[in-house]
Structure 1
C-alpha cells in the first residue's frame, strides 16, 4: 500500500511526504468509512476526521504493525463512534449509483434491490459485527489484519464473523429464495 520510506519521511517532518502519504490512503479511508456508515456525507466527514487524526498522530505509528491496519483502526473507530451517535440513512438512489455501469436495465434494477437488501442487512448488524464484515468482505482484510485493526484477539474476530454471517443469512433469507425484502 504505502512505502515504508514515505512513512519514515513523514514522521521525520517532511511535509511533502506527509501530504503524499495522505493522498495515497484517502481513497481507502473514504471507502471504509462509506461501507461502514452507508452515507456519503457521513463517510466524507469520517474520512476527513480520520485523515486529520493520521496527520496529527503519524509519529505514534510504530512499524511493528502494518501501516494499513493502523490506518484502518483509526477510521473504523471513528466510524463506529459516529454510527453510535447517529444512525445513518441510505437512500436507494445512492445504491443505484453504484450499479449504473451495468448495461442491462433488468440487471441494474435487480442489482439495486440486492444491494439495498445487503446494505440494509449489514446495517442491522451490531457495530462490532458490521465492522468485521466490512473489513473482511469489502476491504479484503485477512483475519489477522482485522484483529490488528480493531485491536481484538484473532478468535474474537473469527467469532464475530461467524455470528455476522449467521445473522446475514437469516436477514437475507427472503432474498435467497428469490424474493426481495420490503
Structure 2
C-alpha cells in the first residue's frame, strides 16, 4: 500500500523510468494521471467521445511499447500528446474515405438543398486535400489551434516547440491554406 501511495505522488520522470523497467503499476499511474487530458484532447480533434477513448487506449499501448524511446522522461505528457495527435489524425483521414451515401440518406431540409450539401462536402474535401499538402508540423499546429482551440503555449508544449516557432508555422499554414482555398471564396 505504501508503494501505491508513493507512486501516486511520484513525478512523471520517476514513473517513466520505473515503467520502462517493466513496472506496470507505474505506467498505470501515468495513464490515470494523463488519460483524462488526452481523452479531452482526442475528443476535440475527433468530435467523438467513443473514438477518443479508442485513440487514447491505442496511444497508451504504443506509449507502453515505445517507452524506452522517450529520451526525456519528464516530457511524458507532450510525448503522449504527439502519439494521440498522430492516432487522431489517422482516424480522421480514414473517416473521409468511408462516406457511404447509401447507408445514410436523411431527407434534405428546405434550408439545405442537395446542391448546398454537395458544395459543402466538396469544399471540405478541398480543405482536407490542402491540409494533406502541408508539412506535418504546420498541419499539427493548425489542427491544434483551429480545430481544438489550443493556445500558442499549449501547442508549443504539446509539440515540444518554441512558441515563436508555433507562431511561424501557423502563419505559414494559414497563408498556404488561403492560397489553396482561393477558388472557394
Same fold (TM over 0.5): yes
Matched, 1:29 2:36: no
1:105 aligns with 2:117: no
Query: What residue ranges of structure 1 are gaps of 5+ in the alignment?
Result: 1-6, 36-40, 177-182
- For residues 112-136 of structure 1, the C-alpha deviation after alignment (integer angstroms, 9 at most, x for no partner) is 2222221221111111110101111
Output the TM-score relative to the length of structure 2: 0.56
- Number of matched pairs: 149
Structure 1 residues 137 and 72: CA distance shift in structure 2, 3 A: same
Structure with greater Cα Rg: 2
Q: 1:138 maps to what in 2?
A: 147
**Taking structure 1 as reference, are residues 105 and 141 closer, same or farther at Cα in structure 2, changes over 3 Å only?**
same
Pick one of 168, 171, 175 that aligns with 2:180.
Answer: 171
Preserved contact between residue 29 and residue 50 of structure 1 (Cα < 8 Å)? no
Alpha-carbon distance between aligned partners in 2 of 1:145 and 1:17, rounded to the nearest angstrom: 20
Q: 1:44 to 1:114 in 2, by over 3 A?
A: farther
Please give the per-residue CA displacement for 1:58-110, whole angstroms capped at 9, x wherever unaligned.
Answer: xx875xx795x554233235678x7xxxx97943727xx9xx8x954324333
Give the Cα–Cα distance (whole angstroms) in 2 for the partners of residues 29 and 157 of structure 1. 20
Separation in 2, partners of 1:16, 1:144? 26
Q: Is 1:136–1:142's contact at 8 Å kept on the other side of the alignment?
A: yes
Q: Which runs of 5+ in 2 are unaligned?
A: 1-6, 16-23
> 2:96 matched to 1:93?
no
DSSP 3-state at the match of 2:25: coil
TM-score (ref. length: structure 1): 0.57
* Pair 1:76-2:85 in alignment: yes
